[in-house]
Structure formats: structure tokens, C-alpha cells
A and B are shown apart, each in its own frame.
Chain A
């Protein structure tokens, strides 16, 4: 599972950010300054002497980006690294792929693995549940293989905060994040959700949220698919994707602006139990609504408190039933 591989742009976007010294110096790093110092050190080292174009870090990122874009295997990557090191002795390449990966995780775009009950009862997550060895309800073990420390089922959760912060820290995206408030629509036609009634009602009800146009509004989309192409194998993965509606319509619906939030793996789809898996996301969304998170705004060069709201969910009709809890087999309920 390569999170960066799926969403190759992550590396790319951050790459831009890294090249800006301003951003770097002001970057807020939750994991403490040690990581950041290491990154900074890597970035200040030129790839080889008298090289101005690439630093050690930026080269590594570009290389990793290529790996992700072309879906290269880890083995191929290791071989290339070996070859490069062999051919150019003075250049500072990462020693191994493992080392490169370690550096890249420090950028703060990694994900959290949360063990889950294989029968969708609960997550081993949060203070009280984390230490448990078996499910509270069905008593199924947490482990698939305890000696090898393999979990029976893993939910991959991609923390939202750092991803939102990055949107503001990157010089390329920070301007478009206030688009929805900047240019008013003149002719009364609807082009973007901001022209819609639901959006306007929300504005009326939450004036303190609207005051700062930088606050992010998200849409949540989810659907199941079979990752193994072959439809005869039953497997259904539910990725949950967040869409920032702050950006102009021609940007917000591009693949590059989607934020992958959760990957729910399963043989059978989670169905009504999808709520269990959404828990971490909802918790983070709540935090982002009440407290917000300190973020650096590149365009104005200042810190501000970023708050977030979830506007609506988008899914196909059975998915809608799962998310809302309305029994869609029987009847339809308009405008849920």
C-alpha cells in the first residue's frame, strides 16, 4: 500500500512548498522540530558540489514522485538507486529506498493504521479501546497472526489537518482557497455550490464561520469498488474522499484537489456499519469545527485559525442509504 503512490500529486504539491524558503521557515510541524530540522538540513545540502538546481531533498522527492506516477515496484527503485550511487559517487543519493521513505514520511503526509474488528463492530481506537485484544461485542481477536503482529483488519486513516494546512501553505493553491468568496456571481446562474440555496442558508446560520473566507467547506464522497479488477473475486473497498468546495469549479472537481481521507477495506462492504469507520474522521471534523487549527497562510503571510465544515455527502443511491441510515430498499425520501 503506497499512499503517496495513489495520490501522486501529494509529493508534487509539497515539492513546490519545499522550494519556497518562506514556507519552510514558517511551517508548523506537529511532530516537533527535530523532524523539521532534519528536513531543512537535507534541503540545504546541494545534490553534489556546485549544483544549484537540486538539493538532496528535492531530488529525492522528484525521484519518488516518478516512482509513484509510473507505479514502479520497490525493487526497481532500489536497483535504480544502486545504479545511480554506483555511477555518481559524489552525489548525495539516499542510501536505500527505506531511507528515502523515512525522510518522506517526515513531511507529515503519512497515514494512520487503525486496527478494526473484522466483523465491523468497533475500531481499536481511542483511549479505552486501543489496548483491547478482542472485540467488545463479538469477541473476535484483534489479530490475524499474533506472533507476526498482523492485524485482522486495518483501516487506513489519512489525517485531515495536515492536508488542509498544506493547501494554504503551498503558493500554488493558497489563492484559490478563497475563491468562493472573492468573485461574486453576477447573472444569477448556478455554476458552483456557492450559488445554491443550501450554501446560502448555511451562511446565514453560521455567520461566525463565514467571516473568514479561508474556512474550508468540504463535501464527502464515497463508493465501493473492487480493486482487483476481476469482478468474480468479491472484495469491496470503500475509499472516502473529501472535496474542498472553496476552490473554483474548474479546480475543485479535479482529481488533484481531492483529499483521500479513509480507506475502508473489506471483503463484504461495510454497509450500515460504515459509521464505525467514519468515527476518526468525524472526530477530526468536530475538532476542526470547534477549535480549528493554526495554519500559515502563504498569500497573506500570517497565521490564522482554520475551521472546517462538512457540507454534504455524495454517493450513489445504495451508498446514500448506508450513510444516512434511511432504508432505501423501501422507499425514497427526497432531499435527505
Chain B
């Protein structure tokens, strides 16, 4: 039996100025859509005193003004929003293609990943680039999209020791996730390739190439195409 949304959500206090809303305890498209619907509803009908929202796979962290709200007061108001999630229609997802130059200097872990799964590097590339991924949310650093789900045959643990510095545009995999590093950061995801596109563009509308809910496909390109796109 499908539970009404209001009952299926769980609150958890995270700090004296934030609370977590869990729409389930595992990564599902259903929970993801409820995260998006709540964001959309809160964008249309903002609650005064909510300062920030940190969406994730199946949860939203709500940061609020602790001098205005107590947790239990805000929870009561949010419950009224949950009751209306079913009526929210999400926009048709955008389809975004991201060109990736796989392997070599751009994808230093491609060989290791193929060996772990007893495949050829070409098979890894074929699997990674033939799947349509969902942008579950942006998090970690500006413009970092958490994409899922990776084909079962590519599910690989993180590196035992994270790299100190991952180049911007690097495309990595970790567990059932894949994603693109927008800025140079330390990182423990295994790197298969790199895109010449900038993922976070402070001077452009929308800032981030990807938004929550987008559908993404990676298109293999060669070194010449990479260089040409990087110059463009």
C-alpha cells in the first residue's frame, strides 16, 4: 500500500538552525521526485525564515532562522506542504549531452576500472556512455551533479586514498554514482575521462550546466575534439 506523502516523510533535527526531511531511507526515483516537488513548492510559496535548502538523494536539509522558528513549528508548516506534493507537476526533464574524452591523461583510472570488472576499456566507455543518468541533486561544491544510477557492471568502490587534486571537468564514478568535478578539489572518485565543458559558470544565467532533475548522457570524443571544444 502506498502511504500518503505526509506520513511517509520523517523529520530529524540536524542542528539548532536546521532540520532534515527524509523521503525514505534509500535512493529511489520516487523519493527524488518528492525532493524536487518540495523544492518547487517552496520556491513558489516560500516560508519566511527559511534561509537555505540542501537537497540530496532522498532528503532535504532546511536551514532556518532559529530566532523565528522552533523545529516543531516549522515541521507543522512543512507537513502542510507534504500533503500537496502529489498535486505538483514537475516540468519535463531537460536532456543534456556532455562530451567526454575517455582514458589517457584525462581518465587515469579507466584501465584499473576495466581490470576490476574484467572488461576492456572500450567496454567500460560503451557502458558508461550508453546510459541515461538522472541528476539527483547538486551538492558538495558549486555545480557538482550527483548522477545515477551507474550500470550494475560498473559499480566500483572509491579509491582507497583520495587524490589531492582532481582537474576540473574530470568525470568520475563511485559506488552507483557518476559525476563531473566542476572545480579543482581533492576527490576519491575513480576518473574515467574529462569534459572540456565548464560545469559551473558564474557569469552565465543559471550558473550550473546541470540542474536537479536533468537527464544526462555522456558522448565519447577524441583528443582533437576535446582540444577544439576547450578552445571554443
Partners in one complex: no
- Chain A residues with CB under 8 Å of chain B are none
- Chain B residues with CB under 8 Å of chain A are none
